[in-house]
Amino acid sequence: MQKTATNFLPDQYESTQKLGINHNYLPEQFADMDAILAKVREVVVQGDFTLGRAVDRVEERYAALQGAKHAVGVNSGTDALRLALIACGIKQGDEVITTPYTFYATIGAIVTVGARPVFVDIGDDYNIDPSKIEAAITPKTKAILPVHWSGRPCLMDQIMAIAKKHNLKVVEDACHAVQATFDGKFTGTLGDVAGFSFHPLKNLNVWGDGGILVTNNAEIADKVRLIRNHGLIDRDHCAEFSFNSRLDTVQAVVADHLLNKLDNITATRIRNAHALDAGLAGVRGVKPPPRDPRIKEVFHLYCIEVERRDELQKFLISRGIDAKVHYPIPMHLQPAAKDWGYKVGDFPRAERLCGNVLSLPVHEFIRPDQTAEMAARIKEFYA
């Protein structure tokens, strides 16, 4: 019998509250809440709740931040991907090539527009392996959806060459990858369009759900602006019946506030990740992904492949370190994927990684002594 879906999140939040080195940094992130609440008060006074001025402001700032011509605020990172696919013409019966090593939202965005995800295994960098994409292309293939996992851009030069050769759209899942670059170009400007997330635990976060879509294509941007707001041209004219996926003005106020801190957030995460790289160098049983000098990683997560993963995780938690698994089951082996005919062994790299991957906190409130503590405890375990 299928389990009933329940709200499991409160218990999940509570389970890690007492750990000294924690993935959850929201109390520190929003310690200046009074400054944000003062701006929210202005929204209340003005009654500017729906697609208000703060949404326009965030869209302008975010487009400039990512070096793009257009940014469109939406309800979530998931909706950013979903509306991007729709704007690219993806529809019922189409196929979209993507990775089995990702968050559920990537696949949900594809499925809910009526398309079928076609999986391709990952490379040593945890991202989709471009060398395997062409073999997965069929006459039904209409797009490639690469995921910049944990803030590490995919090998976009190779992916774009394949897309151009086969006349495919490229929708970047950049939900982890604000300010990340490949060959000096920002995520969101490498493909046709990209979706970013403002989820509370993303690098740029809000007080609930929120997302934004980035593109250099005016036609795609106009389409998304239309379909995020019921298909309305103005108050009285509907061009097509559509969705309600607007970025709330209150959430836009929070995002606008955090944009002022983003340079420091990114720099600190990079510093912490590099400190862990150095602290774990040469430790037997620990394998970080290779670092590519063409890529600026922004480390939404710090992921490593480790031996005896489950034992190490329990050991670290017992020492007050919030080690997590993102994620233990690849997408092609999820219960929701059962009708697609995939089986164990189809994507061995993704399956191996899901059995061995571990995530450590590297957010901007992790101190140098804490990165040293994490490295020391891991060394202790393997010693």
Q: What is the CATH number of the domain that holds 302?
A: 3.90.1150.10
Mean pLDDT score of the chain: 96
**d(Cα 43, Cα 304) in Å, to the nearest integer?**
43
**d(Cα 313, Cα 317) in Å, to the nearest integer?**
6
CATH number at residue 187: 3.40.640.10
Residues 294 and 231 in one domain: no
Q: Using one digit for the tens of pLDDT, what is the confidence trace for 194-253?
A: 999 999 999 999 999 999 999 999 999 999 999 999 999 999 999 999 999 999 999 999
Residues 302 and 314 in one domain: yes
**d(Cα 118, Cα 99) in Å, to the nearest integer?**
8
Residue 3 lies in a domain: no
Count of domains forming the chain = 2
Residues 24 and 63 in one domain: no
pTM: 0.96
Amino acid at 362: V
**d(Cα 165, Cα 134) in Å, to the nearest integer?**
10
Residues 74 and 57 in one domain: yes
Specify burial of residue 281 (Cβ count, 10 A radius: 0-12, 13-18, 19+): exposed
User: Which domain covers residue 142, as residue numbers?
Assistant: 33-259
Q: Residue 33: its pLDDT value, please?
A: 96
Residues 227 and 295 in one domain: no
| Per-residue pLDDT at 1 exceeds 60 | no
Last residue of one domain, picked from the residues 259, 284, 314: 259
- Average pLDDT on 52-79 reads 98
Residues 126 and 254 in one domain: yes
Vertex 80 angle, CA 174 and 271, to 5°? 25
Name the nearest CA neighbour of 108 among 56, 151, 69, 145: 145
- Say if CB 319 and CB 289 are below 8 A apart: no
Q: How confident is the model at residue 16 (pLDDT cuts 50, 70, 90)?
A: confident
Q: How confident is the model at residue 372 (pLDDT cuts 50, 70, 90)?
A: very high
- Say if CB 225 and CB 193 are below 8 A apart: no
Q: Using one digit for the tens of pLDDT, what is the confidence trace for 304-327?
A: 999 999 999 999 999 999 999 999
Q: Residue 2: its pLDDT value, please?
A: 61
Residues 229 and 280 in one domain: no
Residues 169 and 74 in one domain: yes
Q: Which two tokens stand for residue 141?
A: 């293939």
Q: Residue 266: its pLDDT value, please?
A: 98
Q: Residue 215: its pLDDT value, please?
A: 98
- Say if CB 252 and CB 54 are below 8 A apart: yes
Residues 209 and 75 in one domain: yes
Of residues 329 and 4, which shows the higher confidence score?
A: 329
Residue 111 lies in a domain: yes
Residues 192 and 276 in one domain: no
| Per-residue pLDDT at 258 exceeds 90 | yes
Q: Residue 12: its pLDDT value, please?
A: 65
Q: Using one digit for the tens of pLDDT, what is the confidence trace for 167-197?
A: 999 999 999 999 999 999 999 999 999 999 9
Task: Annotate 123-136 with DSSP letters as a single string.
Answer: -TTSSB-GGGTGGG
Residues 297 and 224 in one domain: no
| Per-residue pLDDT at 38 exceeds 80 | yes
- Average pLDDT on 73-77 reads 98
Q: Residue 309: its pLDDT value, please?
A: 98
- Average pLDDT on 64-69 reads 97
Residue 176 lies in a domain: yes
The CB-side HSE value for 108 (13 A sphere, CA atoms) comes to: 9
Residue 324: what are its φ and ψ, rounded to 5°? Answer: -125, 165
Q: What percent of the chain has pLDDT over 90?
A: 95
| Per-residue pLDDT at 366 exceeds 70 | yes
Residue 1 lies in a domain: no
- Average pLDDT on 145-157 reads 98
Residues 183 and 294 in one domain: no
Name the nearest CA neighbour of 224 among 66, 304, 93, 113: 113
Q: 């750990």: which residue's tokens?
A: 19
